[in-house]
A and B are shown apart, each in its own frame.
Chain A
Amino acid sequence: MLNLLVLRSKLKSFYGKYNVFIVPAVKFAFVLCALLLLNKNIGYMKMLKNPFVPVILSLICSVMPFGGICWIISGFMLMHIYAVSSEMTLVMVIFLMITALLYYGFQPGDSWILILTPMMFAFKIPYVVPVLVGLSCGMVSVVPVGCGIVLYYMLSYVKKNAGLLTNDAAMDITQKYMQMINGIVSNKTMLLLIVAFAVTIIVVFLIRNLSLDYSWIIAVITGLVALLVTVLAGDFLFGISVAVSPLLTGILIAAAVAVVYIFMVFNVDYTRTEYTQFEDDDYYYYVKAVPKITVSVPERRVQRMNRQKHTENEGKEQ
């Protein structure tokens, strides 16, 4: 445990020292990962599949705020989809514009969640998202997570039905639109996951803010149980089948990631909790003070043996 705490404080001091380089590097890796995933799954435009394009775009994005990054990734995605279907591109543009205008006007700092959610789905660990968002953001973040889920299912619809959507397919435009919108809106798994993720985020957020001992751990466990119950309820009540083994594995991975996050961000010692009470002219204060666990990084002492001097002295003696 002590070693882990030392590692944590080393990482903290390392970040403090080199955050000027670490933040752009993380952004670079994040954007590169997103663009490569897009290329792998819906890479229909040959020009963008050239490996230099994602690398150059990631380099540009590494010095940009997340709002700008979101627009660049959206543009990249729309160009790929345009190569398959202009109708689907129109639907996507409208969806993204509505999200941007109606939500990001209020909460512009949340745009990374919109990118992260489909990425986690692609990595088969989507259940990490609601837990981390519940621990680190507010309840309003339900909206970008929901939009991220819709975006993922739209992209997977394009991937599965690329043949039907191609521009030269002999189909009436109105029929195309009907088919596309029905295919996206009537996806019950998507709707179930939006509800389940929203429930998890709200549960985790509410419990972690309670003045309970081990509230963050309790929040994670309760949130994951709520997620499991919602998904299973959807299965039993509405017949929406979700594969059980990936669900359980995903939940276990989410729990593990949450534990690491809590260790790094909210590491406190509840055994040394102190309660105090005082007053001023206007209020009585009942304060609960929980100390943080901190360890100082052990300093290495290097003792230098001055050999040269020693040999010189020996020479003199001789």
Chain B
Amino acid sequence: MEWLCVILTKYANRFAICSGGCRGMLNEDKIRLMNDIAVFEKKEGKSARPAERYFKNDFIAKHMMQSFFAFTFCYLLVMIIAVLYNMEQIVSTVNVTDVVGMAKKTIVFYLTGLFLFELITWTVYRRKYDEAVRVRKVRIEKLNRLKKRYEFQEKAKELMKEGGRNA
């Protein structure tokens, strides 16, 4: 969609001043519209990117994958601290069943935490994608309005020319 915006903006910049009924006059209506689009692009353009680059499921899956690695890494860091904190207890534990019990606990905590974190990620990025779709829709509407404005002007120009020839 960005290419359309760039083309329209360039086109608009070239013709906004010299078109619009009378030559040499600024077309305020069109300038306002283009300015509106440019400001919107600057403020909200970033949040529309996911909707332009990914399908919804791909976008969510990508972030869920990232969350998996982030959570696993953080869990390992927490485990380092936990091991350092309980070092004496671990060293004194000679019983194999206790070690197996601790390992089971660790895995259960990891899986529960991972499930919750993935759930949060899924919710957050689903919402982000929906928001991106909304922003994209608004932008397309604005661009369409600008496009219609140009079409109207072109037609008006042609009619003026025809009128001049007939006269």
The answer to whether the Cβ of B7 comes within 8 Å of any Cβ in the partner chain is no
The answer to whether the Cβ of B73 comes within 8 Å of any Cβ in the partner chain is yes
Q: A109-148 interface mask toward B, CB cutoff 8 Å, 1 = contact, 0 = none? A: 0000000000000000000000000000000000000000
Q: Which of A91, A101, A174, A181 contacts B73 (CB 8 A)?
A: A101
Are the C-beta atoms of B124 and A106 separated by less than 8 Å?
A: yes
Chain A interface size, as a band, is 10 to 19
The answer to whether the Cβ of B19 comes within 8 Å of any Cβ in the partner chain is no
Contacts of B87 in A (CB 8 A): 174, 177
State the CA gap A71–B74 with chains docked (Å). 18
The answer to whether the Cβ of A170 comes within 8 Å of any Cβ in the partner chain is no
Are the C-beta atoms of B70 and A91 separated by less than 8 Å?
A: no
State the CA gap A174–B77 with chains docked (Å). 16
The answer to whether the Cβ of B3 comes within 8 Å of any Cβ in the partner chain is no
Contacts of A302 in B (CB 8 A): none
Are the C-beta atoms of A98 and B85 separated by less than 8 Å?
A: no
Contacts of A56 in B (CB 8 A): none
The answer to whether the Cβ of B88 comes within 8 Å of any Cβ in the partner chain is yes
Q: B109-133 interface mask toward A, CB cutoff 8 Å, 1 = contact, 0 = none? A: 0000000010011001000000000
The answer to whether the Cβ of A20 comes within 8 Å of any Cβ in the partner chain is no
The answer to whether the Cβ of A94 comes within 8 Å of any Cβ in the partner chain is yes
Given contacts A101-B73, A102-B117, A174-B87, contact A94 B67 (CB under 8 A): no
Are the C-beta atoms of B78 and A94 separated by less than 8 Å?
A: yes
Shortest distance from the beta carbon of A67 to any chain B beta carbon, whole Å: 14
Contacts of A174 in B (CB 8 A): 84, 87-88
**Closest chain A residue to B125, Cβ basis:** A106
Given contacts A174-B88, A177-B84, A181-B85, contact A105 B67 (CB under 8 A): yes
**Closest chain B residue to A178, Cβ basis:** B85
The answer to whether the Cβ of B106 comes within 8 Å of any Cβ in the partner chain is no
Shortest distance from the beta carbon of B133 to any chain A beta carbon, whole Å: 19
**Closest chain A residue to B82, Cβ basis:** A181
Are the C-beta atoms of B70 and A101 separated by less than 8 Å?
A: yes
Are the C-beta atoms of A94 and B70 separated by less than 8 Å?
A: no
Contacts of A94 in B (CB 8 A): 77-78, 80-81
Which A residues lie at the B interface, using CB under 8 A? Answer: 91, 94, 97-98, 101-102, 105-106, 173-174, 177-178, 181
Instruction: Identify 8 residue pairs between A and B in the complex whose beta-carbon atoms are under 8 Å apart, listed by A's number.
Output: A94-B77, A94-B81, A102-B70, A102-B117, A106-B121, A173-B84, A177-B84, A178-B88
Given contact pairs A91-B81, A102-B70, A105-B70, a sample of 17 additional A-B residue pairs in the complex whose CB atoms are under 8 Å apart = A94-B78, A94-B80, A94-B81, A97-B73, A98-B74, A98-B77, A101-B70, A101-B73, A102-B71, A105-B66, A105-B67, A106-B120, A106-B121, A177-B84, A178-B88, A181-B81, A181-B85
